[in-house]
Amino acid sequence: MQLIECPWCGPRDEIEFRYGGQAGIAYPKDPAALSDEEWAGYVFMRDNPRGWFHERWFHVHGCRTWFSVRRHTVTHEIGRDPGSPRREEFG
Amino acid sequence: MRRDSGGRIDRSRVLRFTFDGRELTGHPGDTLASALLACGVRIVGGSVDLGRPRGVFTAGAEEPNALVRVGDEPMVPATTVELRDGLEAWSLRGRGRLGPALPPGGARPVPGAPSGAAGRPGTDRSPGAAGRPGAGAPPGEPRHDKAYLHCDVLVVGGGPAGLAAALAAGEVGARVVLLDDQPEPGGDLLSSRVLLDGGPAPDWVSSVAARLAALPEVRVLSRTTAIGYHDHNYVVAVERRGGCRLWHFRAGRVVLATGAHERSVAFPGNDRPGVMLASAARTYANRYGVLPGRRAVVFTCTDSGHEAARDLAAAGVEIVEIVDPRRDGSLVVGTLADREGALAGAVIGGAAGERAAACDLLAVSGGWNPAVQLFSQSQGRLRFDETLQAFVPHLSAQAERSAGACRGVYGTAAAVADGFAAGSQAAELAGVREREVFRVPECDEPAQSPPAALWTVPARRPSPDRPAGAAGTAPAAPDPSDSTAEAAHGPGAGGDAEAFVDLQRDVTVADLGRAAGAGLRSVEHVKRYTTAGTGAEQGKTSGATAVGVVAALLGVEPGQVGTTTFRPPYTPVAFGVLAGRDRGALSDPIRVTAMHDLHVARGAVFEDVGQWKRPRYFPLDGESMAEAVERERRAARTGVAAIDASTLGKIEVVGRDAGEFLDRMYPNTLSTLPVGSCRYSVMCGADGMVLDDGVITRLAEDRYLVTTTTGNAAAVLDRLEEWRQTEWPDLDVSFTSVTDHWAVVAVVGPRARPVAEALVTDVDFADFPFMTCRESRFGRVFRISFSGELAYEINVPRWFGAALWEAALERGAVPYGTETMHVLRAEKGFAIVGQETDGTVTPQDLGMSWIVSARKPDFVGRRSHSRPDTARPGRKRLVGLVPDDPREVLTEGAQLVASPGGRRMLGHVTSAYPGVALAMIRDVRAGDRLFAFDARRGCEVPVTVTDPVFHDPQNARRDGDPPDVRLEPVRGYGARSALAGFGGRFAAAGSCGAMIREVPLVPMREARGEAPVEERGRKGLRLGPDWWLVVGGRLVAGGPPGVDVSGQRAVVRLSGPRAGDVLMTGCRIDLHPAVFTVGAHTRTLLARVPVVLHRIEPDAYLILVCSSLAGYLAEWLLDALEGL
* DSSP states of B618-683: ---TT--HHHHHHHHHHHHHHS-EEEE-TTSEEEEEESTTHHHHHHHHSSS--TTPPTTBEEEEEE
Interface residues of chain B, partner chain A, Cβ below 8 Å? 230-234, 248, 250, 379, 397, 686-687, 714, 718, 721-723, 725-727, 729, 857-858, 860, 862-864, 867-868, 1023-1025, 1027, 1068-1069, 1082-1085, 1090
pLDDT of residue B108: 40
- Which residue of B863, B864, B1104 to mutate against A (max A Cβ within 10 Å)? B863
The phi and psi torsions of B772 (rounded to 5 degrees) equal: -130, 170
Q: Distance from B813 to chain A by nearest Cα, in Å?
A: 39
Residue B404: Cβ-neighbour burial (10 angstroms; 0-12, 13-18, 19+): buried
CA–CA distances in Å: residue B764 to residues B270, B334, B758, B967: 94, 101, 11, 15
DSSP annotation of B568: S
* B contacts of A85 (beta carbons < 8 Å): 725-726
In single-letter form, the type of residue at position B161 comes to A
Rounded CA-CA distance B87/B109 in Å is: 21
Rounded CA-CA distance B515/B529 in Å is: 7
DSSP annotation of B725: H
Q: Is A86 in contact with B232 (Cβ distance < 8 A)?
A: no
In single-letter form, the type of residue at position B244 comes to C
CB A67 within 8 A of CB A57: yes
pLDDT of residue B100: 55
Task: State the distance between the two ends of chain B, measured CA to CA, in whole angstroms.
Answer: 41
Nearest CA in chain A to B1067: A13
pLDDT of residue B892: 94
> With b meaning 16 or more CB within 10 Å and e meaning fewer, what string describes B29-50?
bbbbbbbbbbbebbbbbbbbeb
Nearest 5°: the CA angle B38, B500, B480 is: 60
pLDDT of residue B431: 79
Closest CA to B265 of B360, B354, B368: B368
pLDDT of residue B109: 38
> With b meaning 16 or more CB within 10 Å and e meaning fewer, what string describes B781-794?
bbbbbbbbbbbbbb
CA–CA distances in Å: residue B701 to residues B363, B682, B732, B772, B1019: 87, 22, 13, 15, 28
CA–CA distances in Å: residue B653 to residues B314, B465, B1035: 82, 95, 20
* A contacts of B1083 (beta carbons < 8 Å): 9, 61-64
Parallel, antiparallel, or unpaired: how do β-strands B703-708 and B895-897 relate? unpaired
Q: Report the DSSP beta bridge partners of residue B250.
A: B150, B234
Residue B810 belongs to what H/E stretch? helix B801-810
Q: Report the DSSP beta bridge partners of residue B225.
A: B238
Q: At what angle do helices B818-827 and B625-638 cross, to 10 degrees?
A: 60
pLDDT of residue A20: 95
Q: Is B1025 in contact with A34 (Cβ distance < 8 A)?
A: no
Rounded CA-CA distance B829/B880 in Å is: 7
The list of chain B residues with pLDDT below 70 reads 96-140, 433-437, 459-494, 1016-1017, 1033-1041
Q: Is A16 in contact with B721 (Cβ distance < 8 A)?
A: no
ipTM of the complex: 0.92
Closest CA to B563 of B366, B390, B388, B365: B390
Nearest CA in chain A to B1076: A9
Give residue-wise pLDDT tens across range B214-231. 999 999 999 999 999 999
Q: How many CA atoms lie within 13 A of B739 on its CB side?
A: 24
pLDDT of residue B1124: 87
CA B311 to chain centroid, in Å, comes to: 44
DSSP annotation of B433: -
CB A74 within 8 A of CB B895: no
Collect all residues with Cβ–Cβ distance below 8 Å to B1037 and sequence separation of at least 6.
none
pLDDT of residue B74: 86
pLDDT of residue B131: 30
Rounded CA-CA distance B196/B194 in Å is: 6
Rounded CA-CA distance B402/B423 in Å is: 10
Give residue-wise pLDDT tens across range A30-61. 999 999 999 999 999 999 999 999 999 999 99
Give residue-wise pLDDT tens across range B450-507. 999 899 988 665 444 444 333 444 444 344 344 333 433 333 346 899 999 999 999 9
* B contacts of A55 (beta carbons < 8 Å): none
Most distant CA atoms of chain B, gap in Å: 118
pLDDT of residue B464: 42
Residue B326: Cβ-neighbour burial (10 angstroms; 0-12, 13-18, 19+): middle
CA B1037 to chain centroid, in Å, comes to: 47
Task: State the distance between the two ends of chain A, measured CA to CA, in whole angstroms.
Answer: 34
Residue B927: Cβ-neighbour burial (10 angstroms; 0-12, 13-18, 19+): exposed
DSSP annotation of B514: H
pLDDT of residue B478: 42
Q: How many CB atoms lie within 10 A of CB A79?
A: 12
Nearest CA in chain B to A56: B726
What domains are defined for chain B? 15-101 (3.10.20.440), 145-260+370-429 (3.50.50.60), 262-366+450-561 (3.50.50.60), 648-738 (3.30.70.1400), 862-946 (2.40.30.110), 980-1002+1046-1122 (3.30.1360.120)
Give residue-wise pLDDT tens across range B384-394. 999 999 999 99
Q: What is chain B's length? A: 1124
Collect all residues with Cβ–Cβ distance below 8 Å to B738 and sequence separation of at least 6.
B650, B651, B652, B705, B1043, B1045, B1048
CA–CA distances in Å: residue B958 to residues B319, B753, B770, B953: 100, 12, 8, 11
Closest CA to B411 of B372, B381, B440, B380: B440
CATH architecture of A3-79: 2-Layer Sandwich (3.30)
pLDDT of residue B458: 80
Rounded CA-CA distance B873/B31 in Å is: 76
Rounding to the nearest 10 degrees, give the CA dihedral for residues A44, A50, A52, A53.
10
pLDDT band with cut points at 50, 70 and 90 for residue A85? very low
